[in-house]
A and B are shown apart, each in its own frame.
Chain A
Amino acid sequence: MSTVTASSGSHTEIDAGHPPTSTGLSNEKVAMWSFLGSECMLFGALISTYLLFKGQSEPGTIAPVDVFDIPYTSVSSFVLLMSSLTMVLALAAIQRGDQRLTRIWILATALLGASFVAGQAYEFTVFVREGMNLRVNLFSSSFFVLTGFHGAHVTIGVLMLLSLYSLSMRGKLPSSKAETVELVGLYWHFVDVVWIVIFTLIYLIP
């Protein structure tokens, strides 16, 4: 009660930095979690489509066993997983107020993410050379659309990380804005987790 009385004695403004909220969480964080909940349904529907269709291609056409190179994809999956580690380090750095390490870890995360996307582009090229494309059969249609969607999400994440890096270089990412890094991190970890699901369901389970 004292809070209310005290504040009504001052101005009726909303603090521009940390608006007090009913839950104590910032609006942006609740929004990000809601958005990620929505994304779960998006990937859920895409993954279901793939699982439904992967075995329904016409016999004799290209199949997962013909093309998947599990060691190669394991390496690129490892690269993506490591980027979650650097993301956490970036957040820890900015919360400590260490600008230099913040930048290094953000850039490292972006580079690891970009390596993953490049690896995926290379993988796609190899697959196309081996005779896969969007229209060959049900397996290849649903494989490319599912992994392509995920790749697009990683790309957007890389762009957000590079934006953070550029903000930080221009001195516009003080540690008071650590939550911005945290929110990008939430998105980034989500995209990673989705990849773990995709990698397991699509590459590892025959």
Chain B
Amino acid sequence: MAIVTPQRPEALAPERPLNAPVRFLRRPTGYTKGVWGWMTTVDHKKIGIMYSATAFIFFLIGGLEALLLRIQLGAPDQTFLRADTYNQIFTMHGTTMIFLVIMPLSAGLANYLLPIMIGARDVAFPRINALGYWVFLAGGLFMYSSFFLGGAPNGGWFGYVPLTRNLPGHNIDYWIFGLQILGIASLSGAVNLIVTVINMRAPGMSLMRMPIFVWMSLVAQFLLLFAIPVITVALFLLSFDRLFSTNFFNVAAGSDPLLWQHLFWMFGHPEVYILILPAMGIVSEVLPVFSRKPLFGYQVMVFSGIAIGFMGWGVWAHHMFATGLGPVAVSAFSASTMFIAVPTGVKIFNWISTMWKGKLTFPTPMLFAIGFVAMFTIGGLSGVTHGVVPADTQQTDTYYIVAHFHYVLFGGSMFGLFAGAYYWYPKFAGRLLDERLGKIHFWLMFVGFNMTFGPFHILGLQGMPRRVYTYPEGRGWDVWNLVSTIGSFVIALSILTFIVNMWKCRKPQEVGDDPWDARTLEWTIPSPPPEYNFKEIPLVTSRDELWHRKYTEDEHGRSVKRAVPVGQPKMAHSEVEPSPAEPHEGSDVVGEQTGEHGEGPGEGHSEEHEEHIHMPSPSYWPLLTAVGMPILSYGMIYKTWAVAILGGVWIFGSLYAWALEPATAPEDTPVHGPDTSGEDLESVTAG
């Protein structure tokens, strides 16, 4: 039985330890505002915004890199970029878009929304949450500092050995250590969000009532949890090879460089689903709202997401068909690759069925969601063709592959994330984005996207290899490359429209709690939400909780608006009928107490409690811990052991100070909240 609101006498509030550790920094309090307020915050909403904003800036940088690549390839025999510069730019473009854009954008949305969607006030470990963001930022800045310190990584985003073992300079080292730092961010975030979803659901929020975005993010976090350590090992082996001349990828010493590819893709293929599952979740939230129908086949959606999560571990070698794995392995991975299209296809049909016979409206989030379904279907279909081994060996390392993964990552993940951005912007910012500019944004992006990446299919089938910095005239590639380059500038224009839109709509307006007439819990609270999210922890009685509070069904099974919404504070103790539309399936938490649920969230004494809601205190230590990681990495790369030891001691010291700092500052009067003392332990472990 989950319990919302534990009772705890004030008298037991943690008293100040008599021999409190001497702090050389005064602890920030809940009242710390301004820049320090942001730098020390442990509020999941602020952290989510920081994740998203930082990732958006990296998106602009990665986009600029893409434009440079497209300028170079717009015509044959260009000399705009030198070959070496081109290598650095395409490596950084890929690495940025995957690790510094889509992953943190998904992490940002999940951070902001997951606790609210399950009816919690914060994540399980607020300070570890802050650590995740700062480590991500440190990793991104560290990797980009390479541009000013001798050249950026230049071995491709998957860094194949033995090339990356043997490349001179420190370029690859920045890539290795940058990814290690980002891995720490992802891993801590994964543990945190998994615990949050498993353990902090509001009463009544059984697993099968969770919004589908929560489900898909949860599956993605599990994938991260198990995939990150694999690339961590691969990167460790490579860094040992480069720093200490071990032999892991030394072919002369008898090593098998395919080990790298196995380890990398064992991480890399689950990674693909880490990138797409949250976007699938977003689209599954947006489509029902603007179709005015519940999601078609909720259970099937959940289980197909879980199935993708499991099967995602059995397809990695389809990235390696051209390496000569032998007929048995090739057949097995070919079959599994085609098979994983089944749960994905199920999802596509569910989205279509959700829209089928719905009362469709087409505001910008809906356009992006439909764009996602269409573009992702194309990307998915070209993905299935990779499972066909004879075709795949023909397509390997051509632009056909580049077309495929841009259709799933840009046409898929990014379209989904933009749908989410337009859909939840009113919740984050307190006002809607401009619809007219939004529609311009969508259509420019839709056209530009297909102009840019559609021709890649043709180029690939005509044999244009990927990662070439230029090509000679007369191969029949000129026209399509030019079209693609023009398309990339159309995309750039669409992004400009988005920036203008956000700039225009930066000041909050009275948008109301629920501007879209939506279905899930985040729309029951003010926009933007207060620091504590919920005055009273909600009691959940059905899937699409908010919808059932607002709507009921008439005798013909049509939904009709309730005269007075149920489950609101005003409605305390009034006659509340159980929502007939949803016969409380899966109510393993609330059990049989249907009909009493007006009481839980409804007790009308919320006002005077507002000041008594205690949230965890802010802290410097997550930020300081994160700062140590680039220091350690610079020391390692340049083999300046003093610096490396300084970084190590810095991290260790910060973690220790963190562990000794109570989650709640005794001096921070309004604050004592979800206990996170065990987090201390966790952080020591992670160190």
Binding site for B on A (CB under 8 A): 1, 3-23, 25-32, 34-35, 37-39, 41-42, 45-46, 49, 52-53, 56-58, 134-135, 137-138, 141-142, 145, 156, 159-160, 163, 170, 172, 177, 179-180, 183-184, 187
Q: Smallest CB-CB separation from B610: which chain A residue?
A: A12
Residue of A nearest to B609 (CB): A12
For residue B315, CB closer than 8 A to chain A, the reply is no
A134:B248 contact, CB within 8 angstroms: no
Contact between B234 and A12, CB atoms less than 8 A apart: no
Q: A28 contacts B679, CB within 8 Å? A: yes
Select one of A9, A134, A163, A177 contacting B603, CB under 8 A. A9
Q: Complex: how many Å from CA A32 to CA B8?
A: 26
Beyond the given pairs A1-B599, A16-B12, A160-B681, 18 more chain A to chain B contacts, judged by CB atoms under 8 angstroms and listed by A's residue number, are: A7-B4, A7-B7, A11-B5, A13-B8, A13-B612, A14-B121, A14-B614, A17-B12, A22-B199, A29-B678, A30-B194, A34-B191, A35-B685, A42-B233, A45-B263, A52-B256, A134-B246, A145-B246
Q: Assuming the A-B contacts A17-B675, A49-B233, A138-B253, are A35 and B603 also in contact, with contact meaning beta carbons closer than 8 angstroms in the complex?
A: no
Whether B259 lies near A3 (C-beta < 8 A) is no
Whether B599 contacts A5 by the Cβ 8 Å rule is yes
Say yes or no: B198 contacts A30, CB within 8 Å.
yes
* B255 CB within 8 Å of chain A: yes
In the complex, are the beta carbons of B5 and A138 less than 8 A apart? no
**Cβ-defined partner of A13 (8 Å) among B5, B245, B539, B681:** B5
Given contacts A4-B539, A45-B234, contact A32 B682 (CB under 8 A): yes
Contact of A141 among B198, B246, B535, B678 (CB under 8 A): B246
Knowing A13-B614, A16-B12, A134-B240, the reply to whether A187 touches B685 (Cβ < 8 A) is yes
B contact residues vs A (CB 8 Å cutoff): 1-8, 10, 12-14, 17, 19, 121, 124-125, 187, 190-192, 194-195, 198-201, 203, 205, 225-230, 232-234, 236-237, 240, 244-248, 250, 253-256, 259, 263, 266, 535-537, 539, 589-591, 593, 596, 599-601, 603, 609, 612-614, 659, 663-664, 672-679, 681-682, 684-687
**Is there an interface contact between B245 and A134, defined as CB atoms closer than 8 Å?**
yes
Q: Contacts A8-B603, A16-B664, A30-B194: A135 and B245 contacting too (C-beta < 8 A)? A: yes
Q: When the two chains form their complex, are residues B253 and A58 in contact, meaning their CB atoms are under 8 A apart?
A: yes
3 closest Cβ pairs, A-B complex: A28-B678, A42-B229, A45-B233
Q: Which residues of B contact A5 (CB under 8 A)?
A: 599-600, 603
Q: How far is the CA of A69 from the CA of B232 in the complex (A)?
A: 31
Task: Report yes or no: A138 in contact with B609, Cβ–Cβ below 8 A.
Answer: no
Closest CB in chain A relative to B197 CB, distance in Å: 9
Sample (22) of A-B pairs whose CB atoms are under 8 Å apart: A4-B599, A8-B4, A10-B5, A13-B614, A13-B672, A14-B673, A14-B674, A15-B7, A15-B675, A27-B199, A27-B678, A31-B125, A32-B682, A34-B190, A38-B226, A42-B233, A45-B263, A49-B233, A135-B245, A138-B250, A163-B684, A183-B681
- Interfacial chain B residues near A23, Cβ < 8 Å: 198-199
Inter-chain contact total with CB atoms closer than 8 Å: 234
Residue in contact with A56 in the complex, picked from B236, B255, B263, CB distance below 8 Å: B255
Hey, which chain A residues are within 8 Å of B187, CB to CB? 38
Note all chain A residues with C-beta closer than 8 A to B681.
28, 32, 160, 180, 183-184
* Interface pair A12/B682, CB less than 8 Å apart: no
Check if A15 sits within 8 Å of B245, measured CB to CB. Answer: no
B343 to chain A, nearest CB (A): 23
Q: How far, in whole Å, are A116 and B430 apart by their CA atoms in the complex?
A: 58
Give chain A residues whose Cβ lies under 8 Å from the Cβ of B687. Answer: 156
Contact of A1 among B245, B263, B537, B590 (CB under 8 A): B590
Question: Using Cβ atoms and an 8 Å threshold, which residues of chain B touch A159?
Answer: 684
Contact of B593 among A1, A21, A163, A180 (CB under 8 A): A1
Q: Do A4 and B203 touch across chains, with their CB atoms under 8 A apart? A: yes
Give CA–CA (A1, B203) in the complex, Å.
Answer: 9
List of B residues within 8 angstroms of A8 by Cβ: 4-5, 536-537, 599-601, 603
Task: Judge whether A170 and B19 touch: CB under 8 Å.
Answer: yes
Docked-complex contact A180 and B678, CB < 8 angstroms:
yes
Cα–Cα distance between A45 and B228 once the two chains are bound (Å): 11
Set of chain A residues within 8 Å of B199, measured between Cβ atoms: 21-23, 25, 27, 30
Known pairs A31-B124, A137-B253; A10 contacts B7 (CB<8 A): yes
Q: CB distance A11 to B8 under 8 Å?
A: yes
A115 to B43, CA, bound (A): 43
Contacts of B1 in A (CB 8 A): 3
- Residues on A with C-beta less than 8 A from B664 are 16
Bound-state Cα–Cα, A142 to B687, Å: 23
Complex contact B247–A137 (CB within 8 A): yes
